[in-house]
Amino acid sequence: MGAGYYRPVVQWSKGEYNYANNLQDDVATIAGSKFGIGYRGDDYSNGTSGAASLNYNANGTISQKNGIISSEADYDFFTFTTGGGNVVINANTVSRDGNLHLLIRLFNASGTQIGTYWNSDPFALNATMNVNLAAGKYFIGVDGNGAGDPGYGGYSAYGSIGSYSITGTIPPDNGVATVYKDCNYGGYAVNLAVGNYTLSQLQAKGVVNDDISSLKVNSGYEIVLYNNDNFSGSSIVVGGNDTCLVDNSFNDITSSLRVRATSNSVSIFIQAEDYSAMSGIQTESTTDSGGGLNVGYADTGDWMAYNSITFPTTGSYLIEYRVASAVSGAVISSDLNGGSIILGNVNIPNTGGWQNWQTVSQTVNVNAGTYNFGIYIQNTGLNLNWIRITKVNNALAKEVSSEPKEQFVVYPNPVENTLFFSTSVENTKITIVDSQTGIFINVPKSDGKSVDVSSLKPGVYSILMNKEGQMEQRRFIKK
């Protein structure tokens, strides 16, 4: 046993070659009770779950990993993330006359094998993987292998055991943020560059749906996490390291996200209680991060207005609302200039309590200018802590579906005598509601193009138009 003859390998045997007259299983004998040596401990996971990370420096040089294939059944798994390009991984055994003949298998982020690599010389013991890969997460499996015909001049994987090392280069993943499976930066880690990541794109990089529990963000950048795929559902913005998303009520619920720079972003932050005018609401102390007050006791028809909000450039804006609710079915809408520009409705989730806070959002297009920004309670049942308005880039603008709805406008606003409609409201039931008192006011018969409001007292009103069950609501100010 142990003679390699014309091969660079010296292995134990169990008589697999032709005409063998000694079929003793040498490895089992040495490891067995007679000698009591046993097998060496398994140092790495035998599957993608629990795979060890291949770390590399800023130039992409892998920090050497040393391992042991302890038995024919042993299989060591490693994982790495690349920014895309030519990946070179070397698995090397001892310099001469070793026992271990190495093989490298490559797997994608889903764990599907996509390649097998060894030395160009079928009897050389070392293995090299040199392959161009797209950016993302991958796994490799290192295994002991055989070569040639075990019956005549070759050998099986039976005695292919021993120590090895891994070296090579991986094109760096120049991410500005890292997401982690577990709190306190545990579990798998995936680096992300600036960009937008749907669920399928996250999965391609190795991030499992509803699996992010902590994250790190470089200075000058932030992550927007979304509950649903395609940047929908409730969301939060994280502008730094977060050891555990449990405190944000966002642990294990992320299905899509955006990574973006903050240094060039236009961001407007509005405390909900800093309104210029309001109707029907109250304020109370909040337990949300940062403390202070939140707006509460908001009923259907209540509203808040925030004067002189400037949108510096024309384009797409992300509007985020920090909300809490103990009921289902709450809805708010936002608008500009007393309802002359409608930005659309936002459904408010039941967050499980009046001080259990989440962030919901909508994306809208707004022309550059300074406006009075308004929030109207379409359906009751929410608290509001703050609003954040952030300019997003042109790539995001192509994705938006919640564009301002300017197809129906009431004007002039403010109005003194006659309120006109941008489209005909003939055969429509019209109702005016005093926003201060909630009192419904009878409306004289309309000609379908306008309505006389000269008899109204100065103040803020809502006009409701119901045509065959389709409701439109706009606000206006009576001088």
DSSP secondary structure letters along 279-308: ES-EEEE--STT-SEEEE---TT-EEEEEE
Angle made by CA atoms 13, 143, 20, in degrees to the nearest 5: 15
Nearby residues of 64 by Cβ (< 8 Å), 6 or more positions away: 165, 166, 167
Assigned superfamily of 272-397: Galactose-binding domain-like (2.60.120.260)
Going from N- to C-terminal start, the domains of the chain cover 26-169, 190-261, 272-397, 410-478
Please check whether residue 381 is in contact with residue 330, taking contact to mean a CB–CB distance below 8 angstroms: yes
d(CA 183, CA 11): 46
User: Distance from first CA to last CA of the chain, Å, rounded?
Assistant: 104
Q: What is the CATH number of domain 26-169?
A: 2.60.120.380
Tell me what pLDDT residue 215 has: 93
Please tell me the CATH code under which domain 410-478 is placed: 2.60.40
User: Please, which residues have CB within 8 angstroms of residue 466's CB and are 6 or more apart in sequence?
Assistant: 428, 429, 431
Indicate if 410-478 has the same CATH topology as 272-397.
Answer: no
pLDDT recorded at residue 35: 61
State the residue for tokens 């024309």.
314
Q: Report the pLDDT value the prediction gives residue 266, as an integer from 0 to 100.
A: 56
Q: What is the largest CA-CA distance in the chain?
A: 115
Top-level CATH class of 190-261?
A: mainly beta
Digitized pLDDT (tens) for each residue of the chain, 479 residues in all: 455 556 666 767 676 777 777 777 777 777 665 666 666 777 898 888 888 888 887 678 998 999 998 888 888 999 988 877 889 999 998 766 678 888 999 999 888 899 999 877 777 889 999 999 887 788 999 998 887 777 676 777 777 888 899 999 998 876 788 899 999 888 888 888 878 889 998 988 889 999 999 998 887 778 989 989 988 887 888 878 888 998 778 899 999 998 887 644 556 889 999 999 999 999 999 988 777 899 999 888 899 999 988 888 888 888 889 999 999 889 999 999 988 899 988 888 888 889 988 888 888 889 988 899 999 999 888 999 999 888 765 433 333 333 334 446 777 877 888 888 877 777 777 878 776 666 767 776 677 788 888 888 887 777 877 676 566 667 777 88
DSSP at 90 = E
What is the number of residues in the chain?
479
